[in-house]
Structure 1
Amino acid sequence: MTHEPNAALGLNASVLRSVRRLTQRRGRDLTGKFLAEGRQAVREALATDDLVEEVIVIDADRHADLLEGVDVPIWQATEHQMRQLSDTVTPQGIIAVCRQLRYDWDALDGARLVVICAQVRDPGNAGTVIRCADAFGADAVILTAGSVEIYNPKTVRSTVGSLFHMPILTGIPLSEAVDRVKAMGMKVLAADGVGAPLDLLAADGGLAGPVAWIMGNEAWGLPDEDAQLADQIVAVPMWGKAESLNLSSAAAVCLYATASAQRRQR
């Protein structure tokens, strides 16, 4: 059945309880579902076949362009109900209940640019790295064991829809991830404050082939034993007075440089 925006159903207590469970990790793990909040995230979720199970809105007419032709239940919520489903101070007024995406190593066949997030624990950082990977044409992101849950609402929101654009593998030990991408013929580079300068590596053609970048934890970076798994340690040169770059900024620079080098090689 197709629900037009003006035919949205009133959100009842039973559905509210069911959806509210997804605000907690236990509920997400038990059901295999998660919440995508905001117009852009919902737009991208709806564009992915058979992913969205239902949509909750405060004002269906306001989102008529997104909801036209949608053949899943659309629930009309009050502001009070929406606040129970959102962890933002000001809810954006639209949430999609989605099935969790599952990928295996086959999804990386032919990959030329991969990001490995090694114990990245901040939801905003993880989401922003995924968004950067999407923006610069990466083929996949791997969140190693010990990283933030990919379906944490803050992580999902920080991806701004990029979560739905590429395979994301989770819960994999770093050593296994490195072994796998090396077996695929990828050079493994570790981003760190001290290493070969990124610009010189790019000029020498060192970024033109298939590359997997390891990005370390926000607080402690890459421990020596993890850095040693890489083929080379690379630093982003800085010519200003800033002491360092944060994780997502460094990821953006490294990914842009690599994607640019690979595109010139084609």
Structure 2
Amino acid sequence: MTKEHMLLSSVQNERVKLWASLLEKKHRDRQGLFIIEGIHLLKEAIASGAEIEAIVYDADKGLPKEISEVQDKVASFTEWYKATRNVMAKCTGTDSAPPIFAVLGKLKADEEKLYNPNGLVVVLDGVRDPGNVGTIIRSADAVGADAIILGKGCVDLYNPKTVRSTMGSLFHLPIIEGELKAYIDQAKQRGIQMVGTSLQATHNCYEYSWKQGSWLVMGSEGDGLSAEVEALVNQTVIIPMKGQSESLNVAMATTVLLYEAMRQREFS
């Protein structure tokens, strides 16, 4: 290690109070910052070239070996600190604090990737569960989708639970938060299909041609799509079910549809 890292031992420290405030959305929005926890997420952030303001590790455990090995890839403006266990817990809102966390600037998404004429984009309308949104981001990443749009009523991308459940995939593809109608209108003008799910659909998801530019539009677990967004969908499909289950949760349903899209595009 080139130089001694400053020790943060008080939860009353101004920096610590700022970082702890990032557990709330209003402070994340105000500061344009969010927190990631753990070695895996930090390695993904470093590899992606994300803007890392500060890296803070447990003073008792020392800097994890996996991070010291990639230390030279971290930007020169990033500040490094070690901290006591109570400071680590305060900033991450967890009882069992991670060995390391980092403070990042919110990610800048490339909106041009949205309008790839043969693209595959996931659009979420009012999906509030952070675990489901994180899982959908991982699935979209896994199949090589072009982007994700989170509309009104969705959980905040930078909610700590959402961030954790993406397992680093939030660094791998553009994720845009915004008003769905404006994005969907623009995509439809370019001939991109809006595909939703419906129990009344006449086609199942294996009959639809996913080879064309398609945006998969998924609604919340309880309410489905809002009336405004549903009116913008021009194709609906149903996921066939052979057993007695009534439905799949939104993350599982989205994953099934994304993998069928990948199967058609890559393996047929």
TM-score between both structures, scaled by the size of structure 1: 0.88
Distance 1:210 1:163, change over 3 A: same
User: What do residues 78-113 of structure 1 show as CA deviations (whole Å, max 9, x unaligned)?
Assistant: 221111112334232211110101336324242610
1:179 aligned counterpart, secondary structure: helix
> Cα gap change, 1:191/1:40 in structure 2, threshold over 3 Å: closer, same or farther?
farther
Identify the range of structure 1 (114-123 vs 21-30) with the bigger mean alpha-carbon deviation.
21-30
Is 1:37 the counterpart of 2:63 in the alignment? no
- Checking the alignment, whether the CA contact within 8 Å between 2:196 and 2:218 is kept in structure 1 is yes
Alignment CA distance shift 1:5-1:66 (3 Å):
farther
Partner of 2:6: 9
Q: Which amino acid aligns with 1:33?
A: L
3-state SS, counterpart of residue 199 of structure 1: coil
The runs of 5 or more residues in structure 1 that have no matched partner are: none
Q: 1:157 to 1:193 in 2, by over 3 A?
A: farther
| Corresponding residue of 1:113 | 120
Whole-Å Cα distance in 1 between the matches of residues 98 and 199 of structure 2? 38
Q: CA RMSD in A?
A: 2.1
User: What is the percent sequence identity of the aligned residues?
Assistant: 34
Contact in 2 for aligned 1:5/1:64 (Cα 8 Å) = no
Q: Please, which of 78, 87, 100 is the counterpart of residue 84 of structure 2?
A: 78
Answering whether residue 161 of structure 2 is matched by residue 154 of structure 1, we say: yes
Contact 2:64 2:99 in 1 (8 A): no
Aligned to 1:258: 261
Q: Is the 8 A contact 2:57 2:63 kept in 1?
A: no
The structural deviation recorded for 1:228 is 3.1
TM-score (norm 2): 0.88
Deviations 1:177-226 (A, max 9, x none): 3212223332110023442211232xxxx111111000101211124553
User: 2:109, 2:196 → 1: CA distance?
Assistant: 24
Q: What amino acid is the match of 1:121?
A: R
Q: Distance in 2 between matches of 1:94 and 1:58?
A: 6
Gaps of 5+ in 2: none
Partner of 1:164: 171
| Farther off after superposition, 15-24 or 62-71 | 62-71
Q: Equivalents in 2 of 1:104, 1:62: separation in Å?
A: 33
String of CA shifts for 1:35-80, please: whole Å, max 9, x gaps.
Answer: 1112221111111225111111115646122233234222112221
Code of the residue aligned with 1:53 in structure 2: it is E
1:65 pairs with 2:66: yes
User: For the residues of structure 1 that align with 2:206 and 2:93, how far apart are their CA atoms?
Assistant: 40
Aligned residue in 1 for 2:210: 207
Alpha-carbon distance in structure 2 between the residues aligned to 1:118 and 1:236? 19
Change (3 A) 1:19 1:225: closer
Of 13-22 and 252-261, more deviation after overlay is shown by 13-22
Q: Call closer, same or farther: CA 1:49–1:104 in 2, change over 3 Å.
A: closer
Listed as ranges, the matches of 1:240-255 within 5 Å are 240-255=243-258
CA contact (8 A) 2:126 2:154 kept: yes
Aligned length: 257
Counterpart-to-counterpart distance in 2, 1:50 and 1:187: 32
Once residues 223 and 93 of structure 1 are traced to their aligned partners in structure 2, the CA distance between those partners, rounded to angstroms, is: 41
Q: Cα 1:193–1:78, aligned 2, differ >3 Å: closer, same or farther?
A: farther
CA contact under 8 A between 2:6 and 2:81: conserved in structure 1? yes
Q: Residues 112 and 50 of structure 1: is their aligned pair in 2 closer, same or farther, counting only changes over 3 Å? A: closer
Change (3 A) 1:93 1:17: same
Q: Distance in 2 between matches of 1:10 and 1:149?
A: 31
